[in-house]
Chain A
Amino acid sequence: MDAVLDFLFGPLKEIWAYPTFFVEVVVGGLLTGVMYSLVALGFVLIFKASGVFNFAQGAMVLSAALSFVGFNELGAPLWLALVLALALMIGLAFVIERVVLRPLVNQAPIILFMATIGVTFFIDGFFQMLWGEDVKRLDVGIPKDPIEISGVLVNTFDIVAAVVAGTLVATLAFFFQSTRIGRALRAVADDHQAAQSVGIPLQTIWVIVWSVAGIVALVAGIMWGSKLGVQFSLALVALKALPVLILGGFTSIPGAIIGGLIIGVGEKVAEVFWAEKIGGGIEDWFAYILALFFLMFRPQGLFGERIIERV
């Protein structure tokens, strides 16, 4: 019993003894959480508008980043590479809508989910064939130096990432709340048939949503790519976004951000202070346990829409 108590509360003493370090861990967790949110946002957008859990989001992050770096290596300046990569992602959205979503309209969510898995394999193969499987360096000029703010170490890169994510969320929120297209998107999300009957073109909306998700993927790809290098493993960061998504709710944009922050801080604090005694490397499952804990109280995610069921 003592051992258990010591395991649970021992690290608290450590936190008390080194408050600056604790603050550093929390800040580090918050900033990592923001990076998770960037990826989670793409999932939320598509789920919100079409009820599809888009397994291909990770592959889209990879393909966007690959194209961006690829165009850049071909000699295009950064801005042009950005424009070209954006165009490619929008083109991809068109193709996916036409080839995959339209023939599968009105199918169960799980079928569409499976279809996005097919899309994942295809995109992975196609873009790696196009740009090669090499590790590519991505440098958009974001400084990566550590700086100390009143004794707390933070990294400039992480700060920039947080700013980018904040801007992105603000823009998306504005887009959804206050533009014509945004309102149409929300209408489609609420009820496909009703939206269609008031004259909202479903297919156009889907193309727009997938394009926006592609743009978000490009931003996430650039941020993660400058950290890890652009290579296949970028597609795997999607796994880190899953608990964020579940915790925040599949349908909420602010949820993706708040969820990211909670998961980021939770897993970092657990890993740094509690993991050592039980062997380390607990981040992955801890994120899910944390999400599970929150779900026990709110089964639809922190900000998800309430599911009301009638017999």
Chain B
Amino acid sequence: MIYREAGQYKTSYAADQAIFPILQDRIGLAILLLVAFVGAPLVASDYILSTILIPFLVFSVAALGLNILTGYCGQLSLGTGGFMACGAYAAYKFATAFPELNIVFVFLLSGGVTAMVGVVFGVPSLRIKGFYLAVATLAAQFFLIWLFTKVPWFVNYSPSGVISAPPRSVFGFYVTGIEATSHAKYIFCLSFVALLALVAKNLVRGRVGRAWMAIRDMDIAAEIIGIRPLHTKLLAFAVSSFYCGVAGALWAFIYTSSVEALAFDINRSFQILFMIIIGGLGSILGSFLGAAFIVLLPILLNAGPTAMGAPLSTSTIAHLELMTFGALIVFFLIVEPHGLARLWQIGKEKLRLWPFPH
């Protein structure tokens, strides 16, 4: 009753092609942006900002990146961790080599470097498909981590191989380093994420995104209708790696503020892959929902029994947590194999008809 499009007329092509053609969506978006930018920093504690919302935002960017490659272009990648590491180390090099450079450009540049690396490792995708393609990206994963562990130049010759973010500010507010408040970090992160999400949404609904999806659905057919596979696949690798690189840089600079290459090991790649499958392949919203699921669930599960004062031994709780996590993944897949984004969509369809089901 509340959520319906009846009575909203489009009088121009531009209006018809808007990202949010329905008025209610636009209002909802405005409210939610307001909540995210103003409400959350006012209400949320430091703990929530710095250990739940910031990692959630960072993971969302990585999931967006992987979703572009895997969800939209259909190229399975297990190299996300490696690309994130690439972004983190590139950002560190840029930030320390050019201390005057604004941190925003540092992040964008590191994304650019990662995009180039991604293209290199994307080349085998022209010949190899499906699970076999995972090998090329796994090679990237292991090789990049090895490279950053081995070459001391990447860490400015620090003997332990750990990089830590130098203090940098935007508009006079510190966003990295010891003086940065979690509020500044959160707002900075959020702006980045909002912008990147907008770009991603527009990419995937434009010509480029359609080409990606054509390749995903059937590459031979796509080739016949005039889509160049080389060009399209490599572009997907580049854009995806750009996002992963920025995510890695945000991770190292904003979230943990000090990082060693092992933080981006193969488990990280799997973690991001879980996010997009749980959230929904080929969906921008799905990347966010998946990231929320994977980041929040363990924390909630972990905090749950402690809060209730369950008389269980700590190791039992830790194991129960793993079991619940696994069971919930299976449960959600059985309920809705196409991810949480699909659930949301079904919910909206129902809402359109509500309260009259026919």
Contact = CB atoms under 8 A, between A and B. Distances in A.
B345 to A, nearest CB: 17
Interface string B313-341: 00110111111111111100110011000
B300 to A, nearest CB: 15
Interface size of A as a range: 35 or more
Contacts of A118: 325-330, 333
Contacts of B76: 110
B127 interface: yes
Nearest to B224: A311
B132 A301 contact: yes
Given A110-B277, A129-B316, A299-B129, A311 B220 contact: yes
A270 interface: no
B310 interface: no
B330 A309 contact: no
Contact of B135 (A108, A133, A246): A246
B326 A281 contact: no
A260 to B, nearest CB: 15
A269 interface: no
Interface string A281-311: 1101100110110011001110010010111
Interface string A84-100: 00000000000000011
Nearest to B135: A246
Interface string B140-173: 0011001001110000000000000000000000
Contacts, number: 136
A175 interface: no
Contacts of B277: 110-111, 113-114
Interface string A262-288: 000000000000000011011011001
A122 B333 CA distance: 15
B323 A121 contact: yes
A172 interface: no
Interface in B207-228: 218, 220-221, 224
Given A111-B333, A118-B329, A122-B330, A296 B320 contact: no
Contacts of B316: 129
Contact of A121 (B134, B135, B325): B325
Contacts of A239: 266
A68 interface: no
Contacts of B124: 292, 295-296
A221 interface: no
B272 interface: no
Nearest to A310: B220
Contact of B329 (A53, A99, A121): A121
Contacts of B220: 309-311
B138 interface: yes
Contact of A289 (B128, B143, B324, B325): B143
Contacts of A288: 135-136, 138-139, 142-143
Nearest to B143: A285
B278 interface: yes
Contact of B221 (A113, A242, A285, A311): A311
Interface string B91-135: 000000000000000000000000000000000100111011011
A239 B281 CA distance: 24
B258 to A, nearest CB: 22
B3 interface: no
A111 B143 CA distance: 28
Interface in A167-183: none
B174 interface: no
A15 interface: no
A298 B339 CA distance: 34
Nearest to A291: B135
Contacts of B150: 278-279, 281
Given A121-B329, A129-B319, A311-B218, A295 B135 contact: yes
A121 B326 contact: yes
A100 B333 CA distance: 9
Contacts of A114: 274, 277-278, 329, 333
Contact of B128 (A122, A279, A299): A299
A242 B79 CA distance: 14
Contacts of B328: 118
Nearest to B149: A281
Given A129-B316, A292-B139, 13 more contacts: A99-B330, A104-B333, A107-B333, A117-B329, A121-B329, A122-B323, A123-B326, A125-B325, A250-B131, A282-B146, A295-B124, A295-B127, A301-B132
15 contacts: A104-B333, A107-B337, A114-B274, A114-B333, A118-B327, A122-B322, A124-B326, A250-B131, A281-B149, A285-B143, A288-B135, A295-B128, A296-B127, A310-B220, A311-B221
Interface of B: 76, 124, 127-129, 131-132, 134-136, 138-139, 142-143, 146, 149-151, 218, 220-221, 224, 266, 270, 274, 277-278, 281, 315-316, 318-330, 333-334, 337-338
Interface of A: 53, 99-100, 103-104, 107-108, 110-111, 113-115, 117-126, 128-129, 133, 239, 242-243, 246, 250, 278-279, 281-282, 284-285, 288-289, 291-292, 295-296, 299-301, 304, 307, 309-311
Please name the 5 residue pairs, one residue from A and one from B, whose CB atoms are nearest each other, closest first. Answer: A121-B326, A125-B322, A118-B329, A122-B326, A285-B142
